[in-house]
Amino acid sequence: LITLGLESSCDDTSAAILRGREILSNVVMGQTELHAAFGGVVPEIAARAHAEKLDLAVAEALSRSGLRLAAVDAIAVTAGPGLIGGVLSGVMCAKGLAAGAGKPLIGVNHLAGHALTPRLTDDLAYPYLMLLISGGHCQFLIVRGADRFQRLGGTIDDAPGEAFDKTARLLGLPQPGGPAVEDAARRGNSTRFRFPRPLLDRPGCDMSFSGLKTALLRERDRIVAEKGGLTETDRADLCAGFQAAIRDVLTEKTRRAIALYLEDAPAQPAFAIAGGVAANRAIRAESETLCARSGLRFTAPPLSLCTDNAAMIAYAGSELFAAGHRSDMTLKARPRWPLDPGAQPLVGSGK
């Protein structure tokens, strides 16, 4: 099965070609420079850049794969959730290609793309437990099939990726904040500052990260008031303390999610993490240890497939296609599209 995938829900314009699980091409055109001056992604600028770049990304993906559009069996596109202008650009581009070439169209949930990526890179059987941690989301899911997700809990406010980005901004580190904060944290002392670990005393898998940035801001301002500025050591210690707080919350809640998941007695118990924050080495290492102790297999996609890319959308599309799902020309772009079962159909349609 040859699948063309398109992704344009945030600030990466991407197109990919898959033959089965083999990635023939995965072109990712980032927009970091376009948004750099604004300290965050500007939706209007992103939408325009996607509209300009999608055709180029598709042409490049086809050219690198050595295939022509005629050879493609299905076209998968992110139909949400995300910045609506970008999602619209992708959906319109995919509809044009599907109508022009007479190919089936599949509207894919971006979160399903992240959540299924571990099956693209590893032989992972359903049902597996997944922690999806990205720039805009954080949730525990039992993945029972390409269109069957059970949400166990998640953040009730900020996503960890957002928190990493805000922390970097508060400390004058570059964007995206995750890699910069992780790098500084490696040189820091994680016990100098004790940041809050909210909701640990409550049952369930819900999490909260918004208090963390307020606590960090308070410490930063206190140091600046006392000493007139931050030293490299202050910065490293703040990052280390911040990262340790996130890691501890994720670890404790993962322990609970594992217990819920094991109630099903899955034949091949496995835990996977995906999304941009899954690139964090401290978080990965902690998850790995926890799994080893609980008798679960641990898997995480390579870093390049953790952040936004069209290969994951093509892959999710190929699984949905194989299961008989199709979208049509009424396919709608959705700014919000939760993975919870029953909330909305897991293949995009006009409904």
The residues binding ligand ATP (CB under 6 A) are 10, 82, 110, 114, 134-137, 161, 164-165, 176-179, 182, 275-277, 279-280, 307-308
* Shortest reach from residue 293's CB to ligand ATP, in Å: 23
Q: Which does 193 bind (CB under 5 to 8 A by kind): ligand ATP, Fe ion, none?
A: none
Cβ closer to Fe ion: 134 or 287? 134
Query: DSSP assignment of 138-166, as one string?
Result: EEEEEEEETTEEEEEEEBSS--HHHHHHH
Q: Is 153 left (phi over 0), alpha (psi -120 to 50) or beta?
A: left
* Shortest reach from residue 224's CB to ligand ATP, in Å: 24
Q: How far is CA 167 from CA 46, 218, 284, in A?
A: 23, 12, 20
Instruction: With both helix axes pointing from N to C terminus, report the angle between 281-294 and 232-262 in degrees, rounded to the nearest 10.
Output: 30
Cβ closer to Fe ion: 159 or 184? 159
Strands 2-7 and 12-19 turn out to be antiparallel
User: How many whole angstroms separate alpha carbon 126 and alpha carbon 146?
Assistant: 9
Cβ closer to ligand ATP: 165 or 206? 165
On the CB side of 57, CA atoms within 13 Å amount to 29
User: How many whole angstroms separate alpha carbon 151 and alpha carbon 337?
Assistant: 13
Cβ closer to ligand ATP: 308 or 319? 308
Ligand-binding annotation for 288, yes or no, is no
**Number of C-beta neighbours around residue 346 at 10 A:** 21
Ligand-binding annotation for 147, yes or no, is no
Beta strand spans in 180-322 (E): 270-274, 297-299
Ligand-binding annotation for 189, yes or no, is no
Q: Which does 301 bind (CB under 5 to 8 A by kind): ligand ATP, Fe ion, none?
A: none
Q: Which does 161 bind (CB under 5 to 8 A by kind): Fe ion, ligand ATP, none?
A: ligand ATP
* Shortest reach from residue 187's CB to ligand ATP, in Å: 15
Cβ closer to ligand ATP: 61 or 279? 279
Ligand-binding annotation for 110, yes or no, is yes
Strands 128-133 and 138-145 turn out to be antiparallel
- What residues contact residue 210 under an 8 Å CB cut-off, 6+ apart? 157, 158, 163
* Shortest reach from residue 134's CB to ligand ATP, in Å: 3
* Shortest reach from residue 285's CB to ligand ATP, in Å: 12
Ligand-binding annotation for 135, yes or no, is yes
User: How many whole angstroms separate alpha carbon 141 and alpha carbon 293?
Assistant: 20
Ligand-binding annotation for 102, yes or no, is no
Cβ closer to Fe ion: 176 or 211? 176
**Number of C-beta neighbours around residue 304 at 10 A:** 11
* Shortest reach from residue 100's CB to Fe ion, in Å: 28
* Shortest reach from residue 160's CB to Fe ion, in Å: 13
* Shortest reach from residue 179's CB to ligand ATP, in Å: 5
Q: Which does 277 bind (CB under 5 to 8 A by kind): ligand ATP, Fe ion, none?
A: ligand ATP
Q: Which does 177 bind (CB under 5 to 8 A by kind): Fe ion, ligand ATP, none?
A: ligand ATP
Ligand-binding annotation for 136, yes or no, is yes
Ligand-binding annotation for 178, yes or no, is yes
Ligand-binding annotation for 73, yes or no, is no
Q: Which does 165 bind (CB under 5 to 8 A by kind): Fe ion, ligand ATP, none?
A: ligand ATP
Cβ closer to ligand ATP: 86 or 269? 86
Residue holding tokens 């909210």?
198
User: How many whole angstroms separate alpha carbon 5 and alpha carbon 21?
Assistant: 13
Residue holding tokens 């030293």?
231
Q: Which residues are annotated as a binding site for Fe cation?
A: 110, 114, 308
Bind-site residues for substrate: 132-136, 165, 178, 182, 280
